[in-house]
Each structure stands twice: as structure tokens, then as C-alpha cells.
Amino acid sequence: MADPVKFTIDGQELEAAPGTLVIEAAKKAGIEIPSFCYYEGYSLQAACRMCLVEVEKMPKMQVACTLPVGPGMVVKTNTPQVVAARKSTLEFLLTNHPLDCPICDKGGECELQDMVFRYGAAESRFTDNKVHVDEQQWSPVVFYDGPRCILCFRCVRVCREGMGVGALGVINRGVVSLIAPNEGDHLECDECGMCIDICPVGALTSGSYRYKTRPWEMEHVGTICTHCSNGCKTTLGVRNDEIIRGNNRDRSGINGEFLCIKGRYAFDFTNHPERLQTPMIREGGQLKEVSWSQALKFVATRFNEIKQRGGKFGVIGSTRTTNEENYYLQKFARLGLGTNNIDHHRTGDVVSLVDTLSGRTDALATSDDFLNRKAVLIIGTDLSVEQPFLAFQARTNQRLRGAHIYVVTAGPVREDQCAAQVVRAARGGELGFGSDARGAGEGTGTGGCLRR
């Protein structure tokens, strides 16, 4: 690795790898340079101008979000000029942003509110009419309120770059610019809600959450999503024992702030009237509600009876439960039930995979490997649908680190867009591609080969 660059921010002598952006270097040193449009991992915009800083020997203030640190660079983030620039940028933003925070769904967790509180002016000199457009609904879950939008373009980027969907764009020009669905009046997308989540203001709001509560009235409860085997952490906003919102803004868990449509919205079953809330025991052909202790005692008694008379057990686990739960399940099976017959519901040919990997250590990939390895091979799965988080990781890896993604599927999949090579195999025969495609398939054009 190249030698670190030495530079100074606010008098602190610092070091960072060449190419490190000033805004990142400052953050690492505990110095906040405010920004709206800069968002780690997504393309640079330099649009909001909140991160202007003074750099010695440069005539104009520089944007810290696109300026790489240079040897001997002296950066100042808190001079009167910088303070004034931040104040005026926020004053500009508030000219057309509605000042109805008490009834805004974002109130209390709005980055613009926080930013004005910290860096803005107490008074506004703006006395003219604001630009107004009516709110739009783009999908069951996505609402857009144009006047609140500060045009940081985070939503456009998370949709295009993060999700590989590109459902959002920008229309109009100047002060009447708006974010808009590329399909005109509605979204053609996964409805993942990432755009709502990443919106710093109340411009994009969620149809399932908006106006139900104030954010500070919720408790935030971390849990693991059970909708696929990825095991994303989701933080549920709970008020009066009711789940109101799912997100992962605190970036805890393996998924950072990523959540797919299921992790974010699919919790309403918890209060479904048909959901079984208590155990039941069948007595005389009738199911009867009992307490957990009664139910467990009943099961234990029956298990013991079966064990006494030499009966055998098999245990079916699930990929959708947590590692800890599966650990306890097999422990119970082996020690409690005395059986090694443990399996789970499978969709892939796991037996072949385990055979292939047998005898090799460190051969199973983690979700982290999707983000950090040099290549990812995707066989026979529509990853964005079946394992959205792994697909997100692979896309991020390709975008930020140039990983090579190889896709072997029967039909087109979203990962084709970022793939170094795509092979189309017969449905059901994707695993056998190696013998055909590794030699003959490459370069012969079988299965459209996309390269970026």
C-alpha cells in the first residue's frame, strides 16, 4: 500500500491513505463536516455545498466531499467564512422547504432540522412566496412531497447504485426540480423502501408508517428478520406493543442499513387475527387453548413416552431461524431426544455443495465475503429476489471494489447488469455449467456476455 498522506485539519496533524476524502478523514478524527448529499459508498455529488471548507493556498472554499487529502494540506472547518457559508446554504434551503415541522412525519429525526439547529440562523430573511407542488403517491408504500425535498439525490443513487433498480430520476430544472419515478407516475421497483429510509427529510415517506406516531414515542427493538436465510437485523419501532415500523438506521447487524421489502414491511402478521398466539392441545378432536407450561409439559411427556418405548426422532430445523436457535435445536435433538437425524427445508442441492467442499476449511462464504472478495459466482438463483441482502453486497462490492460477478442462471437476472460474465444454462442444469461453459462457453457467446 502507498505511503499515507500527512495533512492538518483544524490544527490536528493527521494521516490517511492517498485518495481519502477530506470529509472522511475529518470524520475519522472526530471532526464533523456537515453534508446532505455525501453518503458513504454512493457516487459523489458535491451538490449540497454544506461541506465547504477552507484549504490554505486555495483561493475559494473547497467541497470536502470530493477533495482528496494532499500532502501538507491545511484544512480549516470552522472559520467565520465556513460558518457563514453553512448558515447561508441552510437559509437558502429553508426558503422553499415548508416550516411545518410539528406536523411533518420526519419531525424529530430530520437531518435538515438537526442541521439548522446546529449550523443555521435563528431568523430567516425570506419573506416571499414559497414554491409549492402537491404531494404524490408513487406506490402503496412510497409518498413524495416535493416541497420538502432538498434534492440531495440520495434516493436516486440508493435505487440505481445500491439496489440496481434505477426507478428514480430527476425532472424539471432549477428551483422546481423534483425527484420523479422514471416510469412517470408510479414506481417500477422492489418497494424495498431504501429511498424512504435514506431520505434526510420528510420528502419520501412510508405509506405503512406515516402519521401513525412521533418517532420519539416508539421503542426501538432489535431483532432478526425471519423472511429468508440472510439473517438481517431489523430494528422494529414499537409503540403500545404494536410494531409500527421496521428499519435498521443504526446500521447494527450484518446488513448495515440494508433491508429489503420483507425485512422492512413484513411484520403486520404479528397482529393478524388468525395468527396463533397461544399453544393448543387437541382433546377429544377439539383444539383447546392452553398455557405454555401446560403445552411444554404435554410435549415433554409424549416425547418421553416415545423414547421409553424405543421410538425414533427426526428433527427439521429452518434456515430462517437464527444461528443461536438452530444451535439450541440440534443440542436438544442430540442430548434431549438422542438423535442425530437433523435436517432442514432445502431449496438448493446442498448435498452436492457439501460434498464439493468436504475436507476444505474456510470454504463456506459469509455475507461479508460477498462484499469483500474479488469475485462472486452466482449459480442458479435470482439473488435479488431470493437473497436480496447478498445481492446488495455483491453489487456494492462490484461498484466500490471492482469485484467480478459471474452469473450462471437459466434466465435474465438483475445481477447481469453488474456481471463480468453471464452464462445462460438450461433450467435445472445451472450447476453443470462448469464442464460446458468454462472451456467452450467463454467467448463463444453462449448466453449474452455483458461487460462493464
Partner 1 sequence: MPLYNEPSPLEVRVLSKRFLLPNSASIDTYLANEGYQAWRKAVGMTQDEIINEVKASNLRGRGGAGFPTGMKWSFVPRNSPKPKYIMVNADESEPGTCKDRVLMEFDPHQLIEGMMIAGLAVGSQAGYIYIRGEYRYLIDIMDKAIDEAYARGWLGDNIQGTGVKFEVRTHTGAGAYECGEESALLESFEGKRGVPRIRPPFPAVAGAYQCPTVLNNVETYCSVPSIILMGGASWAALGTPKNGGTRLFCLSGHINKPGVYELPMGFNLMRMINEVGGGMRGGKKLKAVIPGGSSCPVLKADECDVAMDYDSVAAIKSMLGSGGVVVMDEDTCMVKAALRIMKFYAHESCGWCIPCREGTTWLRKVLSRFHDGMGRRDEIDMIGDLSKSILGRTFCPLGDAAAMPTIAFVEKFRDDFEAHLDGKPCPYENASQLVMA
Q: Contact positions toward partner 1, by CB under 8 A?
A: 44-50, 52, 60-61, 66, 84-85, 88-89, 91-93, 95-96, 125-126, 128-129, 131, 150-151, 169-170, 172-177
Are the C-beta atoms of 104 and 84 separated by less than 8 Å?
Answer: no
Radius of gyration of the chain (CA): 27
* Euclidean distance between CA atoms 205 and 137, whole angstroms: 10
The CB-side HSE value for 406 (13 A sphere, CA atoms) comes to: 16
**315 - beta bridge partners?**
342
Q: Are 156 and 226 in contact (CB under 8 A)?
A: no
DSSP state of 331: H
Residue number with CB closer to partner 1 (152 or 259)? 152
**Cell numbers 455525501 label which residue?**
38
Pairing of strands 62-63, 52-55: antiparallel
Give me 262's grid cell: 420483507
**Which of 46/400 has CB closer to partner 1?**
46
- Minimum distance, C-beta of residue 169 to partner 1, in the bound complex (Å): 8
CA atoms of 206 and 141, how far apart (whole Å):
5
Residue (of 201, 48, 204) closest to 112 by Cα position: 201
- In the complex with partner 1, the residue whose CB is nearer, 93 or 423, is 93
The least CB distance from residue 347 to partner 1, in Å, is 40
Which contiguous run of DSSP H or E holds residue 181?
Answer: strand 178-181
The least distance separating partner 1 from the CB of residue 155, rounded to whole angstroms, comes to 15
Cβ distance to partner 1 smaller for residue 92 or 328:
92
| Least gap, CB of 52 to partner 1 (angstroms) | 6
Q: Please state the closest distance from residue 112 (CB atom) to partner 1, in A.
A: 11
DSSP letter string, 304-318: HHHHHTT----EEE-
Smallest separation (angstroms) from partner 1 to the CB of 126: 6
Closest to 235 in 3D by CA, of 206, 211, 213, 256? 256
Supply the minimum distance, in Å, between the C-beta of residue 167 and partner 1. 16
Query: Is 85 or 405 the residue whose CB approaches partner 1 more closely?
Result: 85
- Residue 78's identity, in one-letter code, is N
In the bound state with partner 1, the residue whose beta carbon lies nearer, of 89 and 226, is 89
Whole-angstrom Cα distance, residue 187 to residue 369? 32
CA–CA distance, 6 with 407 (Å, rounded to integer):
42
With respect to partner 1, which residue has the nearer C-beta, 171 or 281?
171
Tell me the C-alpha distance between 303 and 272, whole Å. Answer: 31
- Compute the distance between CA of residue 260 and CA of residue 446 in angstroms, rounded to an integer: 32
**Residue nearer to partner 1 on the CB measure, 126 or 327:** 126
Nearer to partner 1, 181 or 388 (CB): 181
- Report, in Å, the least distance between residue 130 CB and partner 1: 10
CB of 195 to partner 1, least distance (A): 18
Q: Which is nearer to partner 1, 115 or 337 (CB)?
A: 115
Residue (of 172, 149, 151, 169) closest to 160 by Cα position: 169
Complex with partner 1: residue 49 or 239, whichever CB lies closer = 49
For strands 168-171 and 178-181, give the pairing: antiparallel
Give the shortest CB-131-to-partner 1 separation in angstroms: 7
- Rounded Cα gap, residues 396 and 163, in angstroms: 9
Q: Find all residues with CB under 8 Å of 100, minimum gap 6, and list them.
A: none
CB of 395 to partner 1, least distance (A): 21
Residue 379 Cβ, how far from partner 1 at the closest point, in Å?
A: 33
SS3 166: coil
CA distance 281 to 377: 48
Task: Closer to partner 1 by CB, 92 or 298: give it.
Answer: 92
